[in-house]
Structure 1
Amino acid sequence: MNRMIALWAHPRSRSTVLERVFIERGDFEVFHEPFAHMAFNEQSAIPHDDLDCGLPRTYEGIKSLLRSTRERRNVFHKDMCYHCLDELKTDTDFLLEQQHVFIIREPGRAIVSHFAMFAQMPLHAIGHKALYDVFCRVTKLTGKIPYVINGDDLANQPEETLRRLCDHLQLEFLPEALSWAPSCPPQWQAWRSWHKDAERSTHIVASTSDFDERQLTAHPHLMGYYHAHRPFYERMNQFTQQGRS
């Protein structure tokens, strides 16, 4: 049977560049945030591009698309848990039929990056709590801790991080998938404005600047967002795979 791999993320976690590696592999049909299409439409305040791209707009429709695609190809889909949290947490069958990977990033950096794109972002859209809720649900269902990647480990040690992930998923590691020509994959068209750096990239790039906490403290509500989500990041970061034997 073909496989379905789910990459569950929060915004600005470096999940898109990890998705790009799976696009470059060529052995998966890759879906970019399909469940966003049940959360947003053309009238939504969140910055977007071409949301009228033919994807289903309901949870059941999106799930059906992923399942039908799996009948002919391996499937990789990346999404934010907060897009479909209530439905996902109660959908035991769908959760159990996938291999799950979770990616997290220190919330201060993620929040500042998110704020630069969407200053009106609501608290729940920071995403760490929703991610942790699904992480706990998968843990309970499977009896195993799901695989967790820290996005900064991915940026700073991409080859080692991807080798470990491939070992876990029992996939061949393809070093050629870690570089590409600058382009916008068709999967990104609906949210292209969010991925300009990824579109211009040729490989996974480490952050070149130190984090300045004043970017948070200058906006008191962002500090509130940070304190609300930081505990969930800390709980999941205990289980990141980088550096483990």
Structure 2
Amino acid sequence: MRIAMWSGPRNLSTAMMRSFSSRADSFVSDEPFYAAYLKATGIVHPMQEEVLASQPQDPQAVVDYILGPVPGGKSVWYQKHMSHHMIEGFPLDWMDEVTSIFLLRAPERVLASYAQKRESVTLADIGFEGQAMLFDRVAQRTGRAPVVVDSDDIRRDPEETLQALCAAIGLSWDPAMLSWPKGAHPEDGVWGPHWYNAVYNSTGFSPPDEIGVLPGELAKIADEARPFYERMRGFRLGA
């Protein structure tokens, strides 16, 4: 089984990658289109040169890799993907050969976290519009809504929510998904030192956190993102 977990940044996506990496049957990949996205857009991110040097910059080469043999002889390949990396012109047909899941987080929570790592942020940076486009594509191609999971549900009750997620995609439940070793992991992207400090210090899922009032510009972006979030959230597990 190949799992494409689609999210935006700061969506609990790295903790979910940790969760699946704890399964004995699973290999995980961290944002395989990141370098191709940076190369194609010219957007400058933290640790730019390290990211570009660490991965193929040709999106078709990325597709060939993620549809190739599952590394390590594993039966499950969990691929953490950022929806905003799939820009116009990047191939999408490969999505027909994977099980897509959509990981959501409330826009206010995403922006409060993202703004701590970058000085400026746009709606495109946090991926909600692209995520909704990919959601619609999967629904149209398969004739049904894909699986959606909300990060707040995972953080409130990790075991119940992850059991439901595994059942929804036909994967056996493994209690090992509830914890992982502290620190950096070999599968982490080279950008981990900039983005993953909270995950490095974790050994499992933490309860939902509180957020304050967003400043005006971030609140405006949250309002723009909310229709995309709410539409997909209507299909989340447990809704």
Fold match by TM threshold 0.5? yes
Q: Deviations over 1:118-171 (max 9, x none)?
A: 122233011111100000010000001100000111111100011001111211
Counterpart residue number, 2:37: 39
Letter in 1 for 2:212: D
Letter in 1 for 2:230: E
Counterpart residue number, 1:239: 235
**Structure 1 portions without partners, runs of 5+:** none
Counterpart residue number, 2:186: 186
Q: Deviations over 1:16-58 (max 9, x none)?
A: 11111111113122110111111126x8532237325542111
Structure 2: distance between partners of 1:48 and 1:206: 30
Query: Mapping of 1:35-74 within 5 angstroms?
Result: 35-40=33-38, 45-48=44-47, 50-51=50-51, 54-70=54-70, 73=74, 74=76
Residue 54 of structure 2 contacts residue 190 of structure 2 at CA under 8 Å; is this kept in 1? no
Residue 102 of structure 2 contacts residue 148 of structure 2 at CA under 8 Å; is this kept in 1? yes
Q: Secondary structure at the match of 1:149?
A: strand
Counterpart residue number, 2:207: 206
Letter in 1 for 2:46: P
Counterpart residue number, 1:141: 141
Residue 126 of structure 1 contacts residue 225 of structure 1 at CA under 8 Å; is this kept in 2? no
Counterpart residue number, 1:103: 103
Structure 2: distance between partners of 1:96 and 1:227: 32
Letter in 1 for 2:44: A
Q: Secondary structure at the match of 2:22?
A: helix
Tell me: CA distance 1:138–1:179, structure 2 relative to 1, closer, same or farther (3 Å). Answer: same
Q: Secondary structure at the match of 1:85?
A: coil
Structure 1 runs, 4 residues or longer, greater than 4 Å off? none
Structure 1: distance between partners of 2:53 and 2:175: 32
RMSD: 1.9
Residue 123 of structure 1 contacts residue 225 of structure 1 at CA under 8 Å; is this kept in 2? yes
Structure 1: distance between partners of 2:191 and 2:54: 14
1:86 equivalent among 88, 103, 106: 88
Counterpart residue number, 2:219: 223
Sequence identity percentage: 28
Counterpart residue number, 2:28: 30
Counterpart residue number, 2:14: 16
